[in-house]
Chain A
Amino acid sequence: MPAKGDSGVTVAEVRKAFGPVQALDRVSLEAAPREVVAVVGPSGCGKSTLLELVCGLAEPDGGSVEAAPAALMPQRDGLLPWLSALDNAALALRVGGTGRAAARAAAHEHFAAFGLEGFERARPRELSGGMRQRVAFLRTLLAGRPVLCLDEPFGALDALTRTQMQRWLASALEREPRTVLLVTHDVEEAVLLADRLVLLSPRPGRVIATLDISLSRPRHRTDADVVALRERALEALGADA
C-alpha cells in the first residue's frame, strides 16, 4: 500500500468485489490529517471492506488508496481472552518488538486516563463492554500509527454505555488527535464525533453524499444543529419517512 507523506487518507474511485458480490463501487473519500471522517451506511454496504483497504489488508480491484500507516480496531474488539487488560493494550507494542516490561509500562501510563486503573490484570471477560472497547482503543492508539480505523467501535454496547463511550472517545481524541476513519451505522454517533460524514448506499456501496460538520465541540445529541444534521443525513440515506 502506498504510504502518504502526511498523515491523511485519500481513497479515489475504489472498487472491490468478492466473487460476484460488488462490495464497493467507485467510492471516494478524503481525510485530512487529524480529521475525523465518519463512514455511515446500512449493514453490508462494504464499510468494513473500506477500512481493510485503508489498513492495507486487501487490495482494491480498481481505483487507488493512499493512506499513512493505519491501525485497525476490529468490529468485535479482537481482545485476546488469555491476555490481561494490560497485555492486550500493549499487544501492538509487543508485535512491534518492544520488550514485555517496557510495553506494559507504556500501556499502563494511559490506564488512569482510560478509566482502567485497577483492572490491569483482569481478563477481557471480567471487563464490562465499555471497558473492553477502551482497552481495544488503547491498543489501537499504542500502535503509534497516524491513522486510526475504527470499525463500529460501539456497535455491541447498550444505548447508555454507547452514549458514555461516544463522549469519552470525543475527549480522548481531543487529548490525542489522530486522523480517524469511523465506520458506523449510527447516524447520531457520526454527527456527534465527526468532522465529515460520508454516506454510503446499500450494496454495492456508493457514496450518496458527503456532509461537512463544522459544529463546535463538545456536541450534544439534543443540540438543534446536531438534530438538524442527523435528519439531513437520514434523509439522504433514504431512512426518513
Chain B
Amino acid sequence: MSAALIVLAALGGWEALVRAGLVDELILPAPTQVAEALWTDRDLLAPDLAVTTWEVVLGLAAAIAAGAALGIAMHVSPAAARALRPLVIGSQAVPVPVIAPLVVLVLGFGLAPKVLLVALVCFFPVAINLYDGLRDADADARKLLRSLDASRWQTLRMLELPSALPAAFTGVKVAAAVAVIGAVFAEWSGSDSGLGHALLTANGQLATARAFAATLLLFLLAVALYGAFALLERRVVDWTPRTAPGGP
C-alpha cells in the first residue's frame, strides 16, 4: 500500500518536472511518454520481451541446477568445499561487462552465451545459501538420525535438504532478482534481439521513451520472476510459521 503511494508520488513529481520543462525529455521522458512508447512500440518490444524472458528462464534453470549441485557437493565433501569455495567466490568478482564479450566471442551470437552469463550471475546465491542451509540442520535431529544409524544419503535426504529449503529459496529469489542483469550485458555484447538489444538501438535512435519502456519491462520481468518463486516457496515450504509484513 505505502509502496504504491511512494511510486505514485515519485511518478507525479517526475511527470511535473518534465512537463515544466526543467528536464530535456530526450534525457528524461515523462512517465506518460514512457507509457505511450510502451503502447505504440508494443509490436517491437513484445518479441524482445519474449526473447529475454526465455534467456533468463533458461539461465535461472541452469543456475539452480549448477548451484544446487555445487552447494550439495561442498556440503558432502569438505575437500570439495576447500577446492571450490575460492573459485565460487572469485567467480563473482569477475565483472559481467568484462567477461560478456569474451563469452560471446567463444559461444557466438546465439542463445548459449546469454544463458551462460545469466547462470554465472545467478548460481552464486543459490549455491552459497543452500550450502549454509544444509549445515544449519537442527543438531538434535542430526544426533537422532545418527543414533538410528542413518546413512550419509539418508541424513541428506531426510534432514538436511528439507531443512535447507527455506535458505535455498532465499538464494533462488536473489538470483531471480539479478538474473536480467546477466541477460542484458550478454545482449549488449552481441545480439539482434532481446530487451538489452532494444535498449541499445533505442539509445542510438535517441528514442529515450522507448529505452525507458524497455527498462520498465526488465524491471517487471525481475519482479514477476521473484514473485513466482516467492509463491512457489510458500507452496513448498509450508511448515514454517510466517509473520505478515509489518506484523509483530
Contacts and interface: CB of A to CB of B under 8 A. Distances in A.
B92 interface: no
B148 A78 contact: no
Contacts of A79: 141
A95 B158 contact: yes
Nearest to A72: B147
Interface in B197-248: 237, 239-241
Interface string B157-170: 01100110000000
Nearest to B137: A80
Interface stretch (A50-58, A163-171, A220-228): A50-58
Contacts of A72: 143-144, 147
A71 B140 CA distance: 13
Residues of A contacting B: mostly: loop
Contacts of A76: 140
A95 B145 contact: yes
B85 interface: no
B148 A71 contact: yes
Contacts of A75: 140
Band of interface residues on A: 20 to 34
Interface size on B, as a range, is 20 to 34
B158 A70 contact: no
Interface string B77-109: 000000000000000000000000000000000
A82 B163 CA distance: 8
A115 to B, nearest CB: 22
Interface in B127-174: 138, 140-141, 143-150, 154, 158-159, 162-163
Contacts of B147: 55-57, 70-72
Nearest to A69: B149
B150 A80 contact: no
Contact of A81 (B140, B146, B154, B240): B240
Most buried by A among B144, B146, B163, B240: B144
B166 to A, nearest CB: 10
A52 B143 contact: yes
A75 to B, nearest CB: 7
Interface string A174-192: 0000000000000000000
A162 interface: no
A213 B159 CA distance: 40
The 3 closest A-B pairs by CB, nearest first: A74-B140, A72-B147, A78-B140
Interface of A: 52, 55-57, 70-72, 74-82, 91-92, 94-96, 123, 125, 143
6 contacts: A57-B146, A57-B147, A71-B148, A72-B147, A78-B143, A95-B158
